[in-house]
Amino acid sequence: MAAKSSWAAFPHDAAGFAYAGDSLKKAWPNLHAGDLEPYPDAKRAASLLAAAGKFAPKGLDADTLALELQNAWRAFHRGDFKAAHDAGHALGALGASVAVKALGIHATYLVDDDAERLKRFEQAANLAEAAIKALPDEANSHYRHAFALGRYSQGLSIAKALKAGIAGKVRTALDTALELAPKHAEAHTAMALYHAEIIGKVGAMIGGLTYGAKAAEAEKHIATALKLTPDSPIARVEHGNVLMLLHGAKKEDAAAGEYEKAAKLKPLDAMEALDAAYAASQLE
């Protein structure tokens, strides 16, 4: 688990992201348009307990699990990433979705030390791997694994990442996530990046022959993500990144246009505020 003292606080105003009481359920479809995480009411909690079987914590009932998950997600949305991670982690595989997302988003934006960031993505990948064993039919078990591994590989040299076989694991996890949830916008975004990053790093020919990476696939997946979540800052940011990876300076203006759109979107929670702030920083 990440060191207790090293969770940098969310640096923006979180006043509009509290989602107390029933407001969480009301806002949920918009908050989770990108990852399609089902709202954790008692019915959903019961189905998770049944699906996890022996992997579920002993003595946990559906009502308690629902409440714990709702509170963990509230913490995530208001930017208390440590509380979200810790609450999710305490629930084992049943809380892995929120724990991995909290750990991953915090590490992406709020951990400055490269080695520490890498360590946290590795922890997140391990958590997600355990979730795949316990809840293989959950799209987000697979998507969170791909997200954590993808971020981890971005911190390695391309030679190291390819030698470790991370690309294949990311591809498998994303394929599975999209089979289970074809309208999973964040998985489409990640798949676009998978294709674009490989082409950007090893070229179209080797990327295509060795890893099945294709520019047309990158463009198709990012277009799907934008269609599903047009108001998502991260979809806009990653569209800009895909344009730069595939076309370089030729598409610099178009990429800047995407970052600008992302920076102007009204964030619904702490994660989107960080995404939008990152987009703004790319324009400076």
Let me know if 205 is exposed, middle or buried by CB neighbors in 10 A (0-12, 13-18, 19+). exposed
CB 200 within 8 A of CB 245: yes
Core vs surface per residue 118-130: b (16+ CB within 10 A) or e: bbbbebbbebbbb
Residues in the chain, pLDDT under 70? 1-5, 204, 208-209
Q: Give me the pLDDT at residue 3, please.
A: 43
Residue 221 contacts residue 189 (beta carbons within 8 Å)? yes
pLDDT digits (tens, 9 = 90+) for 26-37: 999 999 999 999
Q: For position 162, what pLDDT does the model report?
A: 76
Question: How far is Cα 196 from Cα 237, in angstroms, rounded to an integer?
Answer: 14
State whether residue 114 is helix, strand or coil: helix
Longest dimension (CA), the chain: 59
C-alpha separations of 100 from 76, 107, 252 in Å? 11, 10, 32
Which domains are delineated in the chain? 19-154 (1.25.40), 183-284 (no CATH)
